[in-house]
Structure 1
Amino acid sequence: MNDLGHLKGGGVRIKLLIAGALVSMNVMASPGYIAKNVKIVSVANTGANAMTFTVRTANGTGICSGESITFPLSIAGNAGNNEGIHNRAYSAALMALASEKKVSIYSYEDSSICSKAAYIEVFK
């Protein structure tokens, strides 16, 4: 006879603890604003020679305020790779830089990182 009687029922508790930890680690990416009321201080036409453009922001709020924010072509539009939407976002970023207007930037894919922006709103 084995001497593990004192652990009886502990296996179920351990399995529940492990399952709970795995569920809490599996956080789903969600859309949301990554920068609000920020000023664009620079615009780059690409990042790492990829089909993206990048803006550098200052002030404002959000996880990406004061950071570089990347707009990949691959997520522009519902099916991705929508050059019209991507070009309009690039034009809006350039206009905001030139006119010193503030912007808010949104990610439809993951609001916890600064590399999947798709939407930019320019305002006074």
Structure 2
Amino acid sequence: MRDPQPSPARDEEEGPLLDDDAGRLIRPYTVSNGRTRPTAHFDLMTLVMATGTRPQSYLGPDHAQVLGLCGGPVSVAELASRTRLPAVVTKVLLSDLADCGAITTRAPAPVPLGPDPTDRQLLEAVLDGLRRRL
């Protein structure tokens, strides 16, 4: 029989809102109060970083978790993965944090392209890898 209480180590890793068998105990859109549209524009590759400014009012445990993950530049996609929330819910949480000045955002730095931006060998290697996986 499985112990219904999560272990302290597991609790620290994933937070109290996750269960081994059931998964997340709170529906994702409950976290965002049913909102599906962020007030700010975020791309999945947008880099987010905490400013050090704490929100004036308490926003909730998921906001605190996301803010805690923003110590260094981190992408929206990575935050969604780490919190196990849909990207749109993560974007709503981030827009709340941006609105109160707790985070700052920037687009990822463009990668400088070499003399031939369409390197045929690279494209063929990617295609070959995709064919092997499928």
TM-score by length of 1: 0.27
The structure where strand makes up a greater share of residues is 1
- Larger Rg computed on CA atoms: 1
